[in-house]
Chain A
């Protein structure tokens, strides 16, 4: 009987580059920036890293395929480097690889590093690219905002919500993330905005305006992991350990079977339920201290609050408007600014979220430090489209929590 990952692996060190429009840096520069911070934080030498997982999603825009770019950028000593890609869950996927390697006993210290260099396309938004030879012949001409925007019409229909009420809750989500991002020196977007600005912004994909969409950024983040025993032997105390690692991948039900209504994520519901079980969390609304979710679009964050079983179904708008997820609310969501403002370099995003949990739990989050000591932190990624996606849920926390 599988016992799960809870408390089997500890985070030894983490690093994260400044996210944003890094016009003068290559992906290799960003990787080194994140890795150098993590190495210093872990207090180890490079040659103590025994295996690495490297995540990038749109590699044709920067480093190309394989694990080689990581090995060359850091001059790793001919160790195994596995390149992973799983849409926007790529960073969490790299973390999962490194954590499992340590948990299995295959190595003592492993690295997960993600990077993305998205600002070399010549235009805003994600790079436009082929979806596969056959998919290109029948998939709709959809963009990321256009596919996620449809959550709104389906959610409104299911819950009898007016467009205005939904738009206002979505605006609250974006205003909150901008407030949080303004306190984060590594964030891509560090300016506060108000609700009027959100509601009056140009339309990107109905009903998502410009400020309902996250930034597309350059950046890198990484984690060095080991066993709690080894961490302690190195003199580390107050360990942050991995509590749950779950992944759920659509099998086509949403897009091909009439049982899905389009208003929620089947994958998130599946992964979060398993993650709580793995972490031993009975009541997420009471027990989870902080969440970083995949707020690629404001409406995604809204429905995700329900898919994580924190807000009741149909109750996310109320919780959002009540400030439940604000930085000073019961469970802050995107206390670092989220994808919305910290930015979204795809391959790095999952690791960036864990980085924030790690800082908050160590009391190192600066101006945005949460006063209550966080016990469990949940991070969540969605890759793909609501009707066909990859969802990761990671829970980290204080050792023994």
Chain B
């Protein structure tokens, strides 16, 4: 029985920190950083993390943003990341609740290595081959890096999601191989915030150049594909020329080497191979061969053949659409502040206790995590939250509402403010009345509003799953949905 990828999507945070700004700010300390000071890196907003970015990528794949396969029948959610917000509370479970996939499914976090993304994908494909699909695989990463470190310049934040299941789908799995070996190019011990990194020349010569070819060769053999037939080689390292050296060593064509997105996004850790794969699927043609590899204490290599179905694949925005949804960030201080890399005076208003009652949250999880409201059976009025008594002044029916999901509905903004008084990690706080066109509304926080942006009453808005509050006292974070000005470009695939 064949297995394959049936849908794909991506997500890239809107802010793109200019690397030149990082390099200049830190050149006094390490002039060598100027060599890395080109292009830009995607930088998560203060209210984003691996969970929220995975949700957006998954919506892009599942159809929440206009394309995808839909949510019906999803049997599992695997979330791969080394920057999961919870160490003990399943992060994939939050993603599944936010996507409103129901509760009869398997959810799993895959972590512990930069290889987690490909390992999650491979295991999902294997599970799907055994009848466990379709499975949503998401990779998301928001790595923390020290100021003035090379990693600060080379990494970026982002996510990708793939739906895998039995059947060829849009990209059929031809073969795979894994090599597992305790090669420690970097590590992050328990309770440590930042990576500890060994010399890159050693990593290149003994790691990339020796371990990766073994896995890829075995995978190609298993697939029955010769290296020179590869059309897209996705190898997620920011290290210059390494992917090209590997292609040459393996005999893959020079032009098969995919852009590692270093100039526009940065390397997104465990999510990066999936991001490169999702990016490749945006422009791959039927019959083409894609090789994707993940590196970290060994290597996973997967070989796919793109099928005729690619022509009808419809991601929402895709990596390309989200890369185009972009705000140039030149304020390094803002980046440092929202990434908790310096101690900022937050003011007394930030001190309000943010304890979350687990009972309250559990009782209302559909409303809070899934943005599920109600629709009145008697009068049809949509309303959020779902309530016992219909809000329509001409109805007022009791116990008349069925669940209604609002997250993917078209909305517009009725009123707004930019509030410099209330506490926000990125003031001013934007919020306002957001009205769903088919009914229902809410006074909602806005997110990803560009500094100094002029908002217009009536402008289209869309929902995004974000962190609402951090409970710094207890290490908890609340999630809820926020509104953002709509208008991210669609993936070029979307129109086909």
Q: Does A25 contact B (CB under 8 A)?
A: no
Residue in A122, A130, A139, A149 whose CB lies within 8 Å of B353:
A130
Which partner residue on chain A sits nearest B396 by CB separation? A251
CA distance A125 to B422 in the complex (A): 10
B433 in complex: contacting residue of A203, A251, A262, CB < 8 Å: A262
**Closest residue on chain B to residue A154 by CB atoms:** B415
Residues of B within 8 A of A388 (CB): 443
Q: Which of B353, B391, B435 contacts A252 (CB 8 A)?
A: B391
- Cβ of B432: which chain A residues have Cβ within 8 Å of it? 140, 150, 153
A263 to chain B: closest residue by CB? B415
* Docked complex Cα distance between A12 and B393 (Å): 42
CB-contact partner of A141 in B347, B368, B424, under 8 A: B424
Would you call A205 and B354 a contact (CB within 8 A)? no
Q: Does B470 touch A at the CB level, under 8 Å?
A: no
- Residue in B348, B367, B443 with the greatest tally of chain A CB atoms within 10 Å: B443
Residue pair B445, A141 in contact (C-beta under 8 Å): yes
| Residues of chain A in range 118-175 having any CB-CB distance to chain B below 8 Å | 121-123, 125, 128-130, 133-134, 136-143, 145-147, 149-151, 153-154, 156-157
Residues of A within 8 A of B420 (CB): 202-205
Interface positions, chain B 354-369, Cβ under 8 Å from A, are 354, 356-357, 360-361, 364, 367-368
The docked-state distance in angstroms from the alpha carbon of A137 to that of B384 is 14
Contact-size category for A: 35 or more
Give the interface residue-count category, chain B: 35 or more
Contact status of A385 and B443, CB under 8 A, knowing A137-B468, A262-B415: yes
Residues on B with C-beta less than 8 A from A203 are 418, 420, 428
Taking the nearest CB of chain B, how far is it from the CB of A262, in angstroms? Answer: 4
Q: Give the chain B neighbours of A206 by CB distance below 8 A.
A: 417-419, 428
Binary interface encoding of chain A residues 330-373 relative to chain B, with 1 for a CB under 8 A from any of its CBs, else 0 = 00000000000000000000000000000000000000000000
Are B356 and A256 within 8 A (Cβ)? no
- Tell me which residues from 362 to 401 in chain A have a Cβ below 8 Å from any Cβ of chain B: 385, 387-388
Residues of A at the B interface (CB closer than 8 Å) are: 121-123, 125, 128-130, 133-134, 136-143, 145-147, 149-151, 153-154, 156-157, 202-206, 208, 251-253, 255-259, 261-262, 385, 387-388
18 A-B pairs with CB atoms under 8 Å apart are A122-B348, A125-B421, A137-B361, A137-B468, A141-B423, A143-B419, A149-B417, A150-B415, A150-B416, A153-B432, A157-B415, A202-B420, A203-B418, A203-B428, A205-B417, A205-B418, A262-B414, A388-B443
- Contacts A145-B417, A146-B417, A204-B420 known; 16 new A-B pairs at CB < 8 A: A129-B352, A134-B360, A136-B469, A138-B385, A139-B443, A140-B443, A140-B445, A142-B422, A145-B419, A146-B431, A154-B457, A255-B433, A256-B385, A258-B435, A261-B414, A262-B415
Chain B residues within 8 Å of A, Cβ to Cβ: 347-349, 351-354, 356-357, 360-361, 364, 367-368, 381, 383-385, 387, 391-393, 414-424, 428-429, 431-433, 435, 439-445, 457-458, 468-469, 478, 480
